Amino acid sequence: MKSKQPNILVVNDDGITAPGIKALMHAMKALGRVVVVAPDSPQSGMGHAITIGKPLRLDKIELYDGIETYRCSGTPVDCVKLAVNSVFKGQRHDLCVSGINHGLNNSINVLYSGTMSAAVEGAIESIPSIGFSLDDYTMQADFEPCIKFVKEIASQVLAQGLPIGTVLNVNFPQGAQIKGIKVCRQANAKWAEEFDERNDPHGRPYYWLTGVFQNNDNGEDTDVWALDHNYASVVPVQFDMTAHHAIPVLNSWKFNV
C-alpha cells in the first residue's frame, strides 16, 4: 500500500509490550505512517546479533489500535531485516526509530545496545535512523518529558536527512526538567566489570555480571557531561569502524614476509 505520509519503522530491544516502544510509536503517529516490528521478548544487550541457526517467526498481531504491528522471534537487528525484506517489500523507508530504551545507551554502551544496533541496521539499509534511550530502567519510567524532543529530532531527520552511514544516538536524563539538546561526542568511559560467583544447588559455579560505570573523560562536550547537566545528548555515530588515523601508522611498519 502506497502512502504520501512518511513510512516510519519503529523497533526496540525491550520487547513489543514495553512502555518505551508504546511512547515512541504514539509520538511517531503525529509524523507519518507507523509500522512496528519488535521482539516478542526482551533482547537487551544483544548488540548486533542476528539469528542464523534457527528459523524466525514474524506474526502480524492486533496489539495497538490503528498501528500495523508485527511480533518477531529474533533479535532487534532481525526485526529490521525482516521489516525491510518482508513487511515493506520494496516500499520506501523514510525513517527508522528504535526505543525508547529503558536505560541509557551513552558512551561505550552503544556497542552492546540492541536498541542502537537496530538503528545501525536501519542505516546499513540506507534508512535515516535514530536510537532513543532514557535514564530509567524501570517499567514505570515516565517518557512524557522526552516526547517533544523525540518529535523534534525525528522531524529534523525527516526534513534534513542524515549524512550517509550516520546514525543518531539520543539519550535523555531522567526527570521532567530537560534543559534542551546538546550535540556531543561519545565520552571515554567504560564499565569496571566484576563477576559475582555463586554455586547452584548441585555445587556448580555460575556467574552474575556486575560492575561500576567509570567516566575517564572530563570534557564538557560529551554525552556523559550533557546528561549529568540535564540535557538530552545527541551523538552522531557510524558503522564504518575503520580507524582511518591508524592507516598511516600501519603503513610505516615493515612486514618481513
pLDDT in tens, 187-232: 998 888 788 999 999 999 999 888 888 888 999 999 999 999 999 9
The x, y and z cell numbers of residue 140, run together, are 514505570
Beta strands in 45-115 (DSSP E): 58-61, 68-72, 95-102
In a domain, residue 150? The reply is yes
Average pLDDT over residues 2-6: 73
Query: For 80-132, how does the pLDDT look when each residue is reduced to its tens digit (9 = 90+)?
Result: 999 999 999 888 889 999 999 999 999 999 999 999 999 999 999 999 999 99
Which helix H or strand E contains 10, and what residues bound it?
A: strand 7-11
Residue 55 predicted with pLDDT over 90: yes
What's the domain range around 150? 7-187+219-251
In a domain, residue 71? The reply is yes
The partner residues of 101 in beta bridges, in order of sequence, read 133
Residue 4 predicted with pLDDT over 90: no
C-beta separation of 147 from 27 below 8 A: yes
pLDDT of residue 193: 79
Residue 30, phi-psi category: left (phi > 0), alpha (psi -120 to 50), beta (remainder): alpha
Residue 57 — φ and ψ, nearest 5°?
-110, 140
Helices (H), the chain: 19-28, 76-82, 114-124, 144-160, 223-228, 247-251
In a domain, residue 232? The reply is yes
Query: For 72-82, how does the pLDDT look when each residue is reduced to its tens digit (9 = 90+)?
Result: 999 999 999 99
Residue 111 — φ and ψ, nearest 5°?
-75, -30
The x, y and z cell numbers of residue 42, run together, are 526482551
> What is the β-pairing status of strands 181-183 and 189-199?
unpaired
Residue 167: CATH number of its domain: 3.40.1210.10
Return d(Cα 64, Cα 62) in angstroms, integer: 6
Beta sheet of 7-11, edge-to-edge order = 58-61, 68-72, 33-39, 7-11, 95-102, 129-134, 166-172, 232-238, 181-183
Return d(Cα 231, Cα 223) in angstroms, integer: 9
In a domain, residue 142? The reply is yes
Residue 62 predicted with pLDDT over 50: yes
Tally of structural domains, the chain:
1
The x, y and z cell numbers of residue 29, run together, are 503517529
Residue 164 predicted with pLDDT over 60: yes
Return d(Cα 67, Cα 73) in angstroms, integer: 19
C-beta separation of 184 from 223 below 8 A: yes
Return d(Cα 56, Cα 75) in angstroms, integer: 10
What is the pTM assigned to this prediction?
A: 0.93
In a domain, residue 193? The reply is no
In a domain, residue 210? The reply is no
In whole numbers, what is the pLDDT of the chain averaged over residues? Answer: 94
In a domain, residue 26? The reply is yes
The x, y and z cell numbers of residue 216, run together, are 575517564
In a domain, residue 212? The reply is no
pLDDT of residue 61: 96
> What is the β-pairing status of strands 166-172 and 129-134?
parallel
Length of the chain: 257
Average pLDDT over residues 164-176: 95
